[in-house]
Amino acid sequence: MTMILSMGVKEMADENAIIKGMPAVETLGSMTVICSDKTGTLTKNEMTVQAVVTEELPLVKEIMNNCQELKTRDEQKIETIHGNPTELALLKYIAKEEQQLKPVVAKIPFSSSYKYMATMHADGEAQVIFVKGAPEVLLKKAADLTNEEKANWEKQGLDLASKGQRVLGFGYKQVSSAELTHDSLTGLTFVGLAGIIDPPKESAVRAVEQAQQAGISVKMITGDHKATAQAISEQIGLKHTSIILEGTDIDEMSDEELAEAVGVVDVYARTTPEHKLRIVTALQKQEEVVGMTGDGVNDAPALKQADIGIAMGIKGSEVSKQAADMVLADDNFYTIVKAVKEGRRIFDNLQKTINFFLPTALAQGLIVILAMLMNQPLPLTPIQILWVNMVTTITLSYAIGFEQASRDTMTRPPRDTKRGILSGYSFFRIVYVSLLIMIPAYFLSMRFEGSALQQTILLQSIVLGQAVYMINCRETFDPAINRRFFENKFLFISLGILFVLQLGVVFLPLGQQLIGTTALNLVQQLLILGNALLLFLIVELEKRISKEIFKRKEKTAIRYQND
């Protein structure tokens, strides 16, 4: 089981999903909700200024040029500047302008808590404050605007946001004091708006669709305007986009009210890291298995709280990576969906391995118990039992770990975390398969005389029965021999190695001496093969019958719910 988990972790790393702990692999397969950032995860993070609404364009461009943290020297070329995508988009918009940077006297960096950035610059004998940020925040701080003018700015901002554009407002203020504080930002002159577009990734649209097909709800949590969030959510295909919760709405809700709301809301706008934490906690109260993406230092509590914390490998902070269970090396939402598929595949293979291993182990034990009850000598010597366990079981079960994902891996709902790895059906399979391996093998061996011959026939029967049953275990309910049968090359490598080793044990003098076996004739080999084929056919027939029974139960349950 450890090897199967380790192989899965390596497969995920090859797909740019770096897992920090093996238990997270199983949790991925059970995830029911993915909460994701918008910018850079669902969108391309390639921002471009699409529209500017202002009557004072030169002044807006001057604010764009100075109220930022990326460009520090006039001679810097735009091609050499990297960093915040929003500021980079603004600098690209004014790249052809020959504007000089004003000396920075003081600065208030941007924060999602107050949603703006401000810089103070020397302006002759006085100072000027440039501010950019959320339009609704700047409008509240603006002076000398009538209600009609504010409403007009709000309408124009809403028009930009409804097109999926991120909207920034710009303002300034002349001051005589050299002190820059939040309190000093009242009485701003509001001068304009800019609409910046960051289109959705095509891969994100595809990933959202696949996640929803797999029964996983996708929720978008962003700091953008409500209208922008709604437009983008519709473009990427989220389900519940008519109702949008903003950070202010969440602040007014109790934990119980939020827990009720998260089930029918997929879009959250104007949020902070604290809101992320509350949303994750609310979803978990509804018994959801939550995956949360994050990249900032303040996202760490939400990443820790989530069942699967997912950090961005490119733009993510070291703190967020330390807090996360998984790191996306490519910052791509589609990688999460691929990791979910891999997690489900690994868990399926673990179940198949257990369903293979336990019946064969139980069969060996039952053979010993049956011999004791019938007052017969032990049918296998300790070294023969060791041979079966150390060579055949480990070799064959290892091969199942390489099985590819089933066709329904991403069309069935997430696994219920309350269900154990062994179901009632698994116990049924364990018991009847162990009897099918044990009873024919034991009574076939008893038909011949000589302890060495009996032990060899019994040993060969168990080994061949295990090999055949391993093929049965490739598919839980579907036919074992299908189009994907030849995709797992390790299956044939394992069978080949086992075949060679078993030939050596039965027919080579050294193997016979070490294990205590003797050569078998053609008739004896055919009888053993017949028992193995009977086992294979019975299990395949049982799988088909069980599949039909489970289908009928599922249809009955759905009909009962609808009624």
Say how far apart CA 232 and CA 199 lie, in whole Å: 8
| Tokens (6 digits) for 274 | 């604290």
Whole-number pLDDT of residue 338: 92
- The structural domains of the chain, with segments of one domain joined by +, span 24-43+215-331, 48-197, 342-562
Q: Is the pTM of this model over 0.75?
A: yes
- At residue 561 the predicted structure's pLDDT band, cuts being 50, 70 and 90, is low
**pLDDT average, residue stretch 121-145:** 91
User: Considering only CA atoms, which of 458, 459, 468 is closest in space to residue 356?
Assistant: 468
User: pLDDT digit string (tens) for 471-506?
Assistant: 999 888 889 988 888 888 888 998 998 899 899 999
Mean pLDDT of all residues belonging to the chain: 89
Give 48-197's CATH code, choosing from 3.40.1080.10, 2.40.40.20, 3.40.50.280, 3.40.1110.10.
3.40.1110.10
Residue 200 — φ and ψ, nearest 5°?
-65, 150
- At residue 393 the predicted structure's pLDDT band, cuts being 50, 70 and 90, is low
> Hey, what CATH topology would domain 342-562 get?
Calcium-transporting ATPase, transmembrane domain (1.20.1110)
- At residue 98 the predicted structure's pLDDT band, cuts being 50, 70 and 90, is confident
Say how far apart CA 251 and CA 362 lie, in whole Å: 58
> Out of 143-147, 366-370, 406-410, 533-537, which region has the weakest mean confidence (pLDDT)?
366-370
**What percent of the chain clears pLDDT 70, i.e. is strictly above it?**
99
User: pLDDT digit string (tens) for 8-34?
Assistant: 888 888 889 999 888 888 888 899 999
Q: What is the DSSP string of 6-39?
A: HHHHHHHHHTTEEESSTHHHHHHHH--EEEE-ST
CB of 128 closer than 8 Å to CB of 174: yes
Q: Domain 24-43+215-331 in CATH: superfamily? A: HAD superfamily/HAD-like (3.40.50.1000)
**pLDDT average, residue stretch 101-119:** 92
Counting other chains too, the contacts that 208-214 makes at CB distance below 8 Å and 24 or more residues apart are 208/42, 208/236, 208/237, 208/238, 208/333, 209/237, 210/337, 210/410, 211/34, 211/336, 211/337, 211/340, 212/237, 212/239, 213/410, 213/411, 214/337, 214/340, 214/341, 214/410, 214/411, 214/412, 214/413, 214/414
Say how far apart CA 481 and CA 475 lie, in whole Å: 9
**pLDDT average, residue stretch 331-341:** 92
**Amino acid present at 14:** D
User: pLDDT digit string (tens) for 439-455?
Assistant: 898 889 888 988 899 99
- Of 14, 37, 74, 144, the active-site residue reads 37
- At residue 259 the predicted structure's pLDDT band, cuts being 50, 70 and 90, is very high
Which comes out higher in pLDDT, residue 370 or 346?
Answer: 346
Whole-number pLDDT of residue 125: 79
Give me the helices (H) in 75-179, please: 85-93, 135-141, 147-161
| Tokens (6 digits) for 301 | 């509590």
Say how far apart CA 283 and CA 263 lie, in whole Å: 7
CA 537 distance to own-chain centroid: 38
- At residue 563 the predicted structure's pLDDT band, cuts being 50, 70 and 90, is low
| Tokens (6 digits) for 506 | 């039965």
Is 295 considered catalytic here?
Answer: no
- At residue 149 the predicted structure's pLDDT band, cuts being 50, 70 and 90, is very high
Say how far apart CA 292 and CA 312 lie, in whole Å: 11
**pLDDT average, residue stretch 399-416:** 87
